[in-house]
Amino acid sequence: MTKIKLVAVDLDDTLLSRDLQITGRVKEAVSAVRAAGVHFTISTGRMYLSAAKFARELGLDIPLITYQGALVKNAYSGQVFVYRPLPLVYAREIITRVHQLGYHLNGYLGDERLLVERDTPEGRRYAAFVNMKVEVVGDFLNYFDRDPVKLLAIAEEPQLDRLSKELLPLYAGKVHIAKSKPHFLEFSHPRATKGDALAYLAGLFGIKREEIMAVGDSYNDLEMLEYAGLGVVVANAREEIKKRADYVTSASHGDGVVEALEKFVLGDTCT
């Protein structure tokens, strides 16, 4: 089997436990992987500041894939490698459509600003979920005067599925549209995908696709699972995501990540 030299792992419902923590077992496995000379990074739809906290907890002095791939930035030096915001012209059209439907909408600026139009239960729950401060700024159509990093609509899954089906053909090649969770529909730059960002890191480190392992659980992980030579999906993922994997772990969440690291990266060196 080809030696894995780069590992990219999603955060929510993958690397993190059910209570959104990095367990001691995960820390030990990641430390062993890094000690073996393998690059390990986080690849998430979360905003940079939220992801950077976990990266520092793991000691990852490496570019992180955040905002689905719209921002690739080092957690320690702050060096930006990739920045691809959502063009404002498309953002305004999507905002208008979401307004018509009455769904909650998040907006993001830079690496640290989480914006909402008004105080809502959905916004408060989301802010608590990512452990970030939220800014109430009023109507996004009036507020945004530059490209947001991304937009995120929150609603019931059937509602978001209908919206996605409506907008995908209209914005093909213009906007990347994907669910990160059943109730989260994200809109970003067409090249702001985890797969595109992973390809960038492969080039940066001089690593071949077959030398990369990606681990995820959801729809916004599909591009990186497809790009990586080895696409791993954790056991708690939906069946339609598992069908796209090269390997499905028997364990869930962080334990599934450890299983994949021990099986495909650490091999006989793991305890």
Task: List, by residue number, the catalytic residues.
Answer: 10
The neighbouring-strand residues paired with 233 are: 216, 248
Range 73-79, long-range pairs (CB < 8 A, 24+ positions): 73/48, 73/111, 75/51
Structure tokens at 192: 């702001």
d(CA 242, CA 257): 14
Cα separation, 98 vs 60, in Å, equals: 37
Cβ neighbours for 2, distance < 8 A, ≥ 6 positions apart: 208, 210, 211, 229
Q: How far apart are CA 259 and CA 236, in angstroms?
A: 13
Report residue 265 as tokens. Answer: 């990266």
Question: Where does residue 183 rank: exposed (0-12), middle (13-18), buried (19+ CB within 10 A)?
Answer: middle
Is the separation of the CB atoms in 8 and 194 below 8 Å? yes
